[in-house]
A = this chain, B = another copy of it.
Amino acid sequence: MAKAQPKKRARSSANALLNATSALMAERNSVDVTFSDIAKRSGVNSALIQYYFGSKSGLFMALLERDAGPTFDSLDKLVSANIPAPEKLRHHVSGVIKVYHRYPYMNRLIGSLSIDSESEAAQFIAERFTKPLAAAQSAILEQGEDEGVFHRVDPMLFHFSLIGSCDHLFHARHSLKFAFGVEEIDEDLQRRYAQHISKILLESIMRR
């Protein structure tokens, strides 16, 4: 028992750093957070960021893994499940939107870590997130074609329209507030947006 304590403490400090980073990014609607912001918010000494995560980009990768990692297990299960392709696409869109609702900084963080395409962070994102996501979407589209319910569609164009449309409501909080007077995205708006996106994507590929 006594031996486990330091590990437990380390885990809890690392978690406090991740929680603080996540909260700051969500509140500010920006991924510009400094070591000192994170230390202040978490109550954990900023030197420990380096100790636990190696660097700020190490911390950011750990945050992405924590936030989005588990959804890839669900996505694998969805792709291999025995349900019709249109149903899968609806579930997928609603899953993507749930992630962006919960972690509105996600695509911004991915973008900022991918600027230097040779970096370890960019490679991590490509292998861990981008490629599996594109592959899962391709598989759903292929299944729909095989079932004779989907038209053939370019999976690359489809990918960007799906991700971009799912993300933008959460990304562009300023537009939501200023152009439409909506201050908060509640469960109802999240659900209606997911239905809207599923509808536009499905209507365009369903055979009639």
Cβ–Cβ contact B115 & A28, under 8 A: yes
Question: A112 near B: Cβ within 8 Å?
Answer: yes
Residue of chain B at shortest CB distance from A134: B179
Known contacts A29-B115, A115-B29, A199-B204; is-contact A171 B164 (Cβ 8 Å) = yes
Question: 1/0 contact trace for A101-144 toward B, CB 8 Å?
Answer: 00000011011101101000010011000110110000000000
Majority secondary structure of chain A interface residues (helix, strand, loop or mixed): helix
Question: A200 near B: Cβ within 8 Å?
Answer: yes
Alpha-carbon distance A182/B107, docked complex (angstroms): 19
Question: A19 near B: Cβ within 8 Å?
Answer: no
Work out how many copies of this chain go into the complex: 2
Please classify how large the interface on chain A is, using the bins under 10, 10 to 19, 20 to 34, 35 or more.
Answer: 35 or more
Chain B residues contacting A108 (CB-CB under 8 Å) are: 111
Question: 1/0 contact trace for A137-171 toward B, CB 8 Å?
Answer: 00000000000000001101111111111111101
Residue of chain B at shortest CB distance from A175: B130
The one of B133, B192, B203 that contacts A157, using a Cβ cutoff of 8 Å? B192
